[in-house]
């Protein structure tokens, strides 16, 4: 999968428990943030692609393309918060205690209008970008970790404020969007005979954030009352643009709708990347899917890849009527990926190993046996923790690692096994 988890060199350098400067940085951030676990975990865990692998082209009510966007608006970056600005309070999670679906919610969609781009120099530009990313990772890793983490955190929050103002104004003015993938980097997308709807879902009640998402919708003549919708929570260091090719293949071959979204702080989504924000994101997107696509929770399949296993397990443990759960290269918890020691348990995030015990839907786990980023043992531990009546045969993929399960010929078996699981939900 292109551009999935490409920042792990930086991740490992900054986060190794054997690195005294990194440990100093962790505790510095923890104290400076008011002992906010989310701030520290966010600095360790989330690496949005920069630049993003797509754009949402803004279109006004008259069909005219609007110039600029949140990332272009550097003026007034320090402007005081006002209506529509991002509200960031990691210490308050009162909105996460309950989960009621608001059946009155309604958000905007529009049809796909892709922009054709020539990709004659694709390989050369891909190589150039990879080299630039590697150089940036080396430069960041060589910095004082305290300075690097603090600067990154400040930059993300400034971006969140700018995007919140624009997204709020766009919603009031009826702005819609065109999905423009970076075809130079991604190549031509697979054919899909349905429609791709780019949407901004929101605002999130607590933070005011809007989440960018793509709905891959089947043609009406291929739909039935039991047609499933896969709510896809992607991995780290990727976005909905980089995932577009895989989502086309899933929707087309499984005869399912697919809704893939970007976490807060990723791609065209607002907000900042933090654990609690991913929970808010997936709750809001789930509610939108039930109200606007499936109408029934039992037709929703949660799919979590890598870091996406966190919000997916969180939601599955709280929604008794969800149709199914797929975990792709998941982990037992965030800190357990770094070390089996529980010395830093107070900073742990995404406790999947505890939440998976509470799910009430069928669970299908996929994990590569040669995964060196999230050990294969994580997948096996989660499989054993799934309630017996919800446990389905896993797929332990030989000779595959963390990011390459769907690469090359592997995509055929992947689609077959995923399709078998989806069809079994109606048996």
Q: Which residues are marked as active site?
A: 306, 371, 402
Beta strands in 85-210 (DSSP E): 176-181, 195-201
User: Cα–Cα distance between 88 and 33 in angstroms, integer?
Assistant: 12
Nearest to 212 by CA among 249, 168, 260: 260
Contacts of residue 417, defined as CB under 8 A and 6 or more positions apart, other chains included, come to: 366, 395
User: Cα–Cα distance between 40 and 27 in angstroms, integer?
Assistant: 8
In sign, the C-alpha dihedral spanning 392, 291, 54, 316 is: negative
SS3 (DSSP) at 167: helix
SS3 (DSSP) at 305: strand
User: Cα–Cα distance between 328 and 404 in angstroms, integer?
Assistant: 11
Phi, psi dihedrals of residue 216, rounded to the nearest 5°: -90, 105
How deeply is 110 buried, as exposed, middle or buried, from its count of CB atoms within 10 A (0-12, 13-18, 19+)? Answer: middle
* CA separation, residue 160 to residues 79, 167, 233, 270 (Å): 12, 10, 20, 5
User: Cα–Cα distance between 53 and 287 in angstroms, integer?
Assistant: 26
Give yes or no for a contact between 186 and 241, defined as CB atoms under 8 angstroms apart: yes
* Preceding amide of 33 cis, omega within 30: no
Give yes or no for a contact between 37 and 349, defined as CB atoms under 8 angstroms apart: yes
* CA separation, residue 409 to residues 153, 412, 416 (Å): 40, 6, 12
In sign, the C-alpha dihedral spanning 400, 405, 406, 412 is: positive
* Preceding amide of 203 cis, omega within 30: yes
């Amino acid at each position: 999968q292109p551009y999935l988890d490409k920042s792990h060199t930086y991740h490992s350098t900054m986060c190794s428990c054997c690195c005294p400067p990194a440990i100093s940085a962790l505790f510095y951030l923890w104290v400076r943030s008011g002992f906010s676990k989310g701030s520290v975990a966010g600095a360790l865990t989330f690496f949005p692609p920069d630049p993003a692998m797509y754009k949402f082209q803004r279109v006004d009510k008259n069909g005219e393309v609007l110039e600029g966007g949140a990332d272009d608006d550097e003026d007034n970056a320090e402007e005081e918060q006002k209506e529509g600005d991002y509200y960031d309070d990691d210490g308050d999670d009162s909105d996460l205690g309950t989960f009621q679906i608001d059946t009155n919610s309604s958000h905007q969609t529009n049809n796909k209008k892709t922009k054709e781009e020539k990709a004659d120099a694709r390989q050369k530009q891909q190589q150039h970008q990879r080299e630039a990313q590697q150089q940036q990772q080396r430069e960041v890793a060589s910095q004082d970790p305290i300075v690097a983490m603090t600067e990154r955190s400040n930059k993300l929050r400034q971006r969140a404020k700018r995007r919140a103002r624009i997204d709020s104004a766009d919603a009031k003015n009826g702005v819609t969007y065109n999905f423009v993938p970076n075809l130079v980097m991604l190549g031509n997308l697979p054919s899909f005979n349905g429609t791709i709807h780019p949407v901004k879902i929101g605002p999130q009640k607590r933070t005011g954030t809007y989440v960018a998402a793509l709905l891959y919708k089947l043609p009406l003549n291929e739909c039935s009352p039991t047609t499933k919708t896969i709510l896809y929570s992607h991995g780290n260091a990727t976005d909905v643009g980089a995932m577009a090719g895989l989502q086309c293949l899933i929707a087309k071959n499984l005869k399912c709708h697919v809704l893939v979204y970007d976490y807060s702080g990723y791609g065209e989504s607002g907000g900042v990347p933090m654990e609690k924000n991913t929970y808010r994101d997936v709750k809001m997107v789930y509610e939108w899917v039930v109200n606007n696509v499936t109408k029934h929770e039992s037709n929703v399949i949660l799919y979590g890849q890598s870091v996406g296993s966190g919000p997916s397990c969180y939601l599955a443990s709280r929604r008794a009527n969800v149709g199914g759960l797929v975990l792709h290269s998941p982990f037992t918890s965030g800190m357990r990926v770094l070390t089996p020691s529980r010395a830093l348990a107070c900073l742990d995030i995404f406790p999947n190993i505890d939440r998976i015990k509470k799910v009430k839907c069928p669970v299908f786990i996929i994990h590569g046996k040669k995964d060196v980023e999230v050990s294969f043992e994580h997948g096996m531990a989660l499989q054993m923790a799934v309630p017996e009546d919800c446990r389905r045969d896993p797929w332990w993929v030989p000779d595959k690692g963390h990011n390459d399960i769907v690469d090359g010929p592997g995509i055929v078996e992947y689609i077959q096994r995923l399709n078998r699981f989806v069809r079994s939900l109606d048996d």
